[in-house]
Amino acid sequence: MLRRRTLITWFVIGWTILFQYETLRASYLSPLVGRPLPKFPLLFPPAGWIMFYNVDNSYGFAEVYGIRGDEPTLLDPHAIFPIKNVGYDNIRRNVLVSVLDGRRAGNFCQFLRRKFPQYDSFAVVYAQYPDLIETPDRVLRQVAYRCESHAARQQ
Amino acid sequence: MNIAQLWSRAFLERRPSASLGLFRLAVAWTVGCHMIPSFFHMEDTYLATAFKTQNFSFFPAWILRLVEGSPDWVVWVWVVLFCVALAAFTLGLCSQASGMLMTASCYYFYALNNVHIGTLSFDILLVTLVLMCVTGYHGDFLSLDSLRRGKDRPYKHLRPFFIQRLLQLQVAWTFWYTALSKITGGGNWLTDNPYYALMHYPPMGVVRDFPFREWIGQSPTLCYGLGVSCLVFEFTIPLCWFIPRTRKVSIPLGIAFQFMLWATLHVPTIFLFLFPPLMLLFIQPETIVGWIEARRAAHAERDRAVLLYDGQCGFCVESVKRLRVLDLFGWVDPLDFHMQPDLTKLNPLLTPEHCQSEMVLVEPNGQLSGGYQAFARLTRRLALLMPLAVPAHLPGMDWLGRRVYRWIATHRYLLHRSPACQTHCQR
């Protein structure tokens, strides 16, 4: 009995310290000591509990255009990732921004060519509302990368 | 009260584990709702053809490399493992082991591709799952494990309280630190007007098109006030969960807050399915036990149904033990018909021959049913058998059930090793 109580006590203390450390590490402890502190792997979010912690007037998102000839067509993001989550829409949680990273371009281009063979090539665009309140209709767009057709790549 | 006593009371005290049994069902439901939809488009989510991203800040690189190399058949094997583990965890079959397997599967798919399931709330779910894996206390109640053990009144099983306490602390800390991050360390909820910005998000943004959104969005002052109210709420409500006098109000308020979040934002359903059950863990387990006991007492005061069984058959005795576990509210009173000197006192139509041939249910209103029909009636009356009520009454089930029951009743002395069986087998 005593052994079990001791084990539980140590577990509770260890868990609590870990929980507090991982919660405070990224935003508070690392700035305090002036260097990034190590993260405990496989548990707890990397930056603490930061749900909607910083929301400003700008809003960035990704657009994907399928191009046939010279004609670009905006692809429905729900057709790109058709997963129907229970009770919420992952696309509206801006899941598509994950494709903007140039290091993932090869993987995403391959994915697009398989899903939308009717297009010759694709353009992945970073779009941004610079100010949702002052200029709600103004959207800035910049091509993040292009997925060329097989023929163009061979040339 | 000194610190040692306080510590003991907070974490070490043995208290009923009924709440954890109920919480297990909520966790299983949440995991299923979050994970299963991602299996419907495997070629887009996990197979070699999918677009994948990996969470390098969560997983060590060697794990990601290992998982990345999974051929498609390995991915399918994990899907099967996940589904089996989820089903077993839901039913409470080897709860701890199935919980571990289910958690391992969640980690596998998270490492394989975090695009579709990886969210901050999924990290919260994983923390919860890891805590649930530490012990098997959640298998004490509402589980096949409790049925297998056959101990009467499993909801009263006493266990050290530390898992439930840590889960309580987890949800409270999550609330507090979420609020703290909004006002310090990069958070802008006091310096700017984030709620106002959210109300102006584009149609494809995270904010739902809920009633009054446009009206709220017209007033920066109102939006700032709502934002600050959210902060105050997130700071104060967890404190109220720990205070017995404010608990009754603060738990529904916390649940309403989560519902409001889900109704206004496209947050994962983990917010709706996991957080409210976490808040319900603040209800004292003794309160739940007291409520069940009160229902049992109420049934005991009224006439209870009687189930007559063959007490000389080991299989029947074992089945009745399990029936007592399933009869949460004490609706039925199992009686060995051999011990009843005059069966007609219970019901004039009863005979020893009838009771010998099948179990007989005598309901408080005098209605008699036997064999499969009695079982089907029980599924409508016993709380823990109710999930079987619909399948038991499907067309054709009566025909099939009667035949299966008849076969079992005829061979019941062969189905269990007991001295009684041996005696009867020799007959």
Chain segment B109-128, per-residue pLDDT in tens: 999 999 999 998 999 999 99
Contact status of B52 with chain A (Cβ, < 8 Å) = yes
Q: Which residues of B are less than 8 Å from A88 in CB distance?
A: 262, 266-269
Determine the residue among A12, A89, A145 to mutate to test chain B binding: the one whose Cβ has the most chain B Cβ atoms within 10 Å: A12
More confident position, B203 or B78: B78
pLDDT at position B427 over 60: no
Q: Find the residue in A nearest to B31 (Cα).
A: A86
Mean pLDDT over B333-348 rounds to 86
Mean pLDDT over B130-136 rounds to 96
Q: Phi, psi (5° rounding) for residue B331? A: -80, -30
Determine the residue among A52, A94, A95 to mutate to test chain B binding: the one whose Cβ has the most chain B Cβ atoms within 10 Å: A52
pLDDT at position B350 over 90: no
Interface contact flag, A8 B267, Cβ < 8 Å: no
Sequence-separated (6 or more) residues with CB below 8 Å from residue B336: B308, B309, B310, B311, B312
pLDDT at position B245 over 90: yes
Out of B12, B127, B268, closest to residue A8 by CB: B12
pLDDT band, residue A20 (cuts 50/70/90): very high
State how far residue B140 is from chain A, nearest Cα, in angstroms: 19
Q: How many residues does chain A have?
A: 155
pLDDT band, residue B173 (cuts 50/70/90): very high
Q: Which residues of B are less than 8 Å from A89 in CB distance?
A: 266
* pLDDT for position B213: 93
Tens of pLDDT, residue by residue over A49-74, are 988 899 999 999 999 999 998 899 99
User: What share of chain B in percent tops pLDDT 70?
Assistant: 97
User: What share of chain A in percent tops pLDDT 90?
Assistant: 77
pLDDT band, residue B425 (cuts 50/70/90): very low
More confident position, B411 or B402: B402
Q: What is the pTM of this model?
A: 0.90
Mean pLDDT over B77-83 rounds to 98
Q: What is the mean pLDDT of chain B?
A: 91
Interface contact flag, B34 A86, Cβ < 8 Å: yes
State how far residue B113 is from chain A, nearest Cα, in angstroms: 12
Tens of pLDDT, residue by residue over A113-131, are 999 999 999 999 999 999 9
Give the CA count within 13 Å in the CB-facing half-sphere of B274.
25
| Cα–Cα distance measured from residue B265 to residue B199, given in angstroms and rounded to the nearest whole number | 10
Q: Which of A25-29, A145-149, B189-193, B414-418 has the lowest mean pLDDT?
A: B414-418
Out of B185, B197, B262, closest to residue A28 by CB: B185
| Cα–Cα distance measured from residue A147 to residue A153, given in angstroms and rounded to the nearest whole number | 9
Determine the residue among B53, B62, B196 to mutate to test chain A binding: the one whose Cβ has the most chain A Cβ atoms within 10 Å: B53
State how far residue A151 is from chain B, nearest Cα, in angstroms: 21
pLDDT band, residue B307 (cuts 50/70/90): very high
In three-state form (DSSP H/G/I as H, E/B as E, the rest C), the secondary structure along B382-395 is CHHHHHHHHHHCCC
Interface contact flag, B268 A88, Cβ < 8 Å: yes
| Cα–Cα distance measured from residue B174 to residue B179, given in angstroms and rounded to the nearest whole number | 9
Q: At what angle do helices B220-242 and B244-264 cross, to 10 degrees?
A: 140
pLDDT at position A1 over 80: no
Contact B350/B344 with Cβ under 8 angstroms? yes
Contact status of B38 with chain A (Cβ, < 8 Å) = yes
Task: Identify which of B78, B46, B266 has the alpha carbon closest to the alpha carbon of residue A85.
Answer: B266
Mean pLDDT over B75-95 rounds to 97
